[in-house]
Amino acid sequence: MRDNHRFRMADGAEFVGHQGDSFEMRVSMPSDDQGFFGRQCPECSLVFRMDARQYEALPDDLILWCVYCGHHAEHSEFVTEHQRNRAVQAVSDFGRQLVSHELRKMFSRLPRGSRSGGLSFSYESQSFFPRPLPGIDEEQLVRIRTCPGCHINYAVFSEHRYCPGCGPLPATSVAFDALQADTARLDALEALPSDAKALLREQGVFARGWVDTVKSVVGVVEYLASSLFRTAVPHADSLLNGKGAIFQRLDPMADLIIDAGFSDLRTVLGPQAWQRLLETWAARHVFTHNDGIVDEKYLARVPGSSARIGQRLVPTEDMCRQALTDAKALCETLIDVLR
């Protein structure tokens, strides 16, 4: 009898064969309704999902990247907990049958009722019925992302910086994804039931989220502008020498880009949009360095403000949404100007 007929395997598991003491099994890992299946980083333990058909077409020696922390290793190391449990059960069922088979073979060589040293040995095998393999019940994808470099489709469940197939994502992808995430956060808070919103407002969750959004847009622009500038300007390091965190400061950043031979961001965007951005950057400064307390520097940058020195700046949802819109426009302008 052939080995693959000797062992009973659950649906989804298959005994392929063996050579010497090495046994080979195949255990299927079901995909979700969109054809995606999970991968789990062995370093940070977070799960992401990949298109199963694309994954099958990738090289056997594929080095996979964690989309969150950037850990990269041989792709077989990215097995999820659910997938591991499914494989372990299949191996366990196979192992029980293998032990039973070996015992039956060993006892078949002994005379029936054999005695040795006053002991009697016998063995009676029983029919084995494998248990159904556990399903894969992992977090489902919300939307599909496509890497602009290698075009692999994947899904994430947190902020990410890497493509699972080719590594670090372009700065443009990271920037626009971050702005979209901040917009989604505002939308999610607004969609909460009224009683939940009232409780969270009273506890300061909304105000804290708005402050975080203002801080975030400045960080997004700083990251994108720095990356684009260093790529577009061959002598970027010499121009940046001694200038500190210049990409956190709008007017010095605009002057730097002019000095490198590019257009004036202020002219391309227009004075009204630029002034709103200056006000957002000023708000970020007092939120970050002065707990939101208005000072002379803030009033100098926001001359139209009705706030007085010593008052606390209070963010609003409208302020945040306008900041996101303006930051997106600035990012698009940076791409056009520094291409």
Q: Quick one: pLDDT at residue 117?
A: 54
What six digits make up the tokens of 292? 């939101």
> Residue type for 276, please?
R
What pLDDT digit, counting tens, does each position of 132-163 carry?
A: 776 677 777 778 899 999 999 999 998 899 99
Q: Quick one: pLDDT at residue 29?
A: 78
pLDDT over 60 (residue 2)? no
pLDDT over 60 (residue 209)? yes
Instruction: Give the pLDDT band (50/70/90) at residue 1.
Output: very low
For tokens 């979700």, name the residue.
32
Which DSSP symbol is given to 18? E
What pLDDT digit, counting tens, does each position of 6-18 carry?
A: 667 767 676 766 6
pLDDT over 90 (residue 261)? yes
pLDDT over 70 (residue 114)? no
pLDDT over 80 (residue 83)? yes
Buried b (16+ CB within 10 A) or exposed e, 264-303: ebbebbeeebbbbbbbbbbbbbbbeeeebebeeebeebbe
How much is the average pLDDT of 174-184? 94
Instruction: State the average pLDDT for the chain.
Output: 87
Q: Quick one: pLDDT at residue 126?
A: 62
Instruction: Write a three-state SS string for 36-66.
Output: EEEEECCCCCCEEEEEHHHHHHCCCCCEEEC
Q: Between 1 and 279, name the one with better pLDDT.
A: 279
Q: Between 21 and 273, name the one with better pLDDT.
A: 273
How much is the average pLDDT of 174-181? 94
Instruction: Give the pLDDT band (50/70/90) at residue 182.
Output: very high
| Contact residues for 65 (Cβ-Cβ < 8 A; gap 6+) | 71, 72, 162, 163, 164, 165, 166, 167
- pTM of this prediction? 0.76
User: Cα separation of 295 and 19, whole Å?
Assistant: 78
pLDDT over 90 (residue 294)? yes
Q: Quick one: pLDDT at residue 283?
A: 95
